[in-house]
Structure 1
Amino acid sequence: MRERIDSPANKKVKLAASLHSRKHREKEGLFIAEGIRLGEMAAAAGWDIVFGLYTTELGEQARGRQLLAQLEAQGCLLCETTAAVYRKASATDTPQGILLVMRQQKSRLQELPAAGKQPLYVVLDGVQDPGNAGTIIRTADAVGADGVILLKGSVDVFGDKTVRSTMGSLFHLPVCTDVTAEELMDFAAAQDLTLYATALDESAQPHFAQDFTRGTAIVFGNEGNGVSEAILQRAAKTYIPMYGRAESLNVGVSAAVVLYEAVRQRQSQYLPQ
């Protein structure tokens, strides 16, 4: 189904514009996925799309027409508008001409894979930068992690920049949000997980000296303060050795290094002998 919107005062345009605010996202339970690539991945994921807003120019492009046809076949309401009206709802500097208003889809810890499957979970403890959070979710997807857990105080996973930074990986794996440290501890104990926390500590061991082959949850902390003390007291501490003069690594880079060590260990049977 399609309709035409010509006024920036239209309720759908106003709703889309309001979702750039975390307060309104939480109130409505909605978020925005903007851009052709994200739109394609959202359509393929089967998440609930409330409506799409697109420009006339996008409908004149072959790739744009194909995406619109796919969305329309799935029963999505599509609203065509002018570039000027579209910009009222967009959050990007160079809009691609399509945004989808989508229903947030959150997982609960209890819905994650059952114990005994040697799962790998990625935990964000107070990570604040949307680009870092999105990059970590994307990396977790790339390594085949079983889920991402965001503790209370972490960035909003449904924020515009975070969603874009995931490059569609948000749609590929379970994401649990607003989890407390105690809930994480209980979950780790119930699933018999080894809980690791990245930390520069005298008792920490190098990441390549850890055993990531069993059920594992790896915690990556806040950009400035690291992992919270409540978790450090209960987790095995690990760090990435650095041999140059740099004092630290970006948390997104650190996550990639540690997670690919976990993959190396878990896929070691495929490595040349």
Structure 2
Amino acid sequence: MLTNPRAERVKAVRALGRRSSRERAGRFVAEGPQAVREVLAFRPETVIELYVDPEVSGRRTDILELADKHDVPVHECSADVMTALADTEHPQGLLAVCRPVDVPLTEALSGQPRLVVVLTNVRDPGNAGTVIRAADAVGADAVLVSDASVDIYNPKVVRSTVGSLWHLPVVRGVPVPDLLEACRAAGLRVLAADGQGEQLLPDTDLQPPHAWVMGNEAWGLEPEVLAACDEVVRVPIYGHAESLNLAMAATVCLYASAEAVSTAAGVERRTP
């Protein structure tokens, strides 16, 4: 059992909270039972090692069985070591060190995609993770994250996806113009989601394949990005709220798209 919070191994894992360390090591951390379960279930080949607090292991036998099935090394550690490893103030006793899972842009847009999300200059980790989660929930084909956006392997982004990071293709580090050009080359209409748009979401034809372009939390989409999009669409506000935040607006747009795309494709929606 690992008991020394100052051990070099512990310091190396903890350092993965910094982007520079993640990029140098080619690794990142997935923290908590849900994230660890999903990466072991969907992308076990990317898991390098698993750290577990023995106080938790008895309640998470399903996760440990998955680790054993895929020959993932498991290290038991004390509560102090888990606290030193984790990014959260109150860790849940499970943490995996993983390899990156992002894919090339050409791969993400292969196979005639119908619904894609583009994040431009999105800086808030919680927003980025929640949009990835929403995209997964509606069955989107991919999420494309620009080079000016938050790192998808930021611990807060990973936690906010609640496992969805391993469920659908995610691209990162590509300039916005290249993302938009690739979407058009893949046959997608490019729709900007912006609170100043003249086109209302309920009046927008969402049946043809399309990509939603989402902007920065504070200033939205830059003028040149808006100009490069086919339509600028806003979510109507019926009450007195000043606006919706990025993740909320993205979720509303994505569910409207999922309904329309399913209807166009003749696909029956899956219900619980």
The answer as to whether partners of 2:3 and 2:81 remain within 8 angstroms in 1 is yes
Structure 1 residue 118 displacement after superposition:
4.7
- Contact 2:148–2:175 (CA under 8 A) maintained in structure 1: no
Tell me which of 75, 78, 86 is aligned to 1:79: 75
Kept in 1, the 8 Å contact 2:17–2:154? The answer is: yes
1:65 matched residue in structure 2 = 61
Q: CA deviation at 1:255?
A: 0.6
**CA deviation profile, 1:19-51 (whole Å, cap 9, x unmatched):** 111111111111111111211111101241111
TM-score by length of 1: 0.91
Compared CA separation, residues 201 and 87, structure 1 to 2 (3 A): closer
- Asked if 2 retains the 8 angstrom alpha-carbon contact of 1:58 and 1:65, the reply is no
Aligned to 2:39: 42
Percent of residue pairs identical: 34
Equivalent residues in 2 for 1:33-182 (5 A)? 33-47=30-44, 48-59=46-57, 61=58, 63-114=59-110, 117-182=112-177
Per the alignment, residue 208 of structure 2 pairs with 214
In the alignment of these two chains, the number of paired residues is 264
Shift of 1:208: 1.7
Find the counterpart in structure 2 of residue 187 from structure 1: 182
Alpha-carbon contact 2:117-2:135 (below 8 Å) kept: yes
CA distance in 2, matches of 1:266, 1:226: 26
In structure 2, the residue matched to 1:6 is 3
Contact 2:83 2:90 in 1 (8 A): no
Q: Which amino acid aligns with 1:91?
A: D
| TM-score, normalising length: structure 2 | 0.92
- CA distance in 1 between counterparts of 2:180 and 2:130 reads 25
More off after superposition, 97-106 vs 67-76: 67-76
Runs of 5+ unmatched residues, structure 1: none
Give the partner amino acid of 2:105.
Answer: L
Change (3 A) 1:205 1:89: same
Distance 1:211 1:143 in 2: 17
Comparing 103-112 with 181-190, greater Cα deviation is found at 181-190
Residue of structure 1 equivalent to 2:222? 228
Question: Judging changes above 3 Å, is the alpha-carbon distance between structure 1 residues 200 and 67 closer, same or farther for their aligned structure 2 residues?
Answer: closer
Query: Following TM superposition, by how much is the alpha carbon of 1:75 offset from its aligned partner in structure 2, in angstroms?
Result: 1.0
Superposed structure 1 runs of 4+ greater than 3 Å apart: 268-271
Q: Which amino acid aligns with 2:141?
A: D
Q: Within 1, Cα distance between the matches of 2:96 and 2:176?
A: 33
Contact kept in structure 2, 1:108 and 1:176, CA below 8 Å: yes
The AA in structure 1 aligned to 2:28 is F
Q: Distance in 1 between matches of 2:18 and 2:187?
A: 38
Q: CA deviation at 1:263?
A: 1.4
Distance 1:56 1:193 in 2: 49
Is 1:181–1:230's contact at 8 Å kept on the other side of the alignment? no
Query: Secondary structure of 1:218's match?
Result: strand
Helix, strand or coil for the counterpart of 1:19? helix
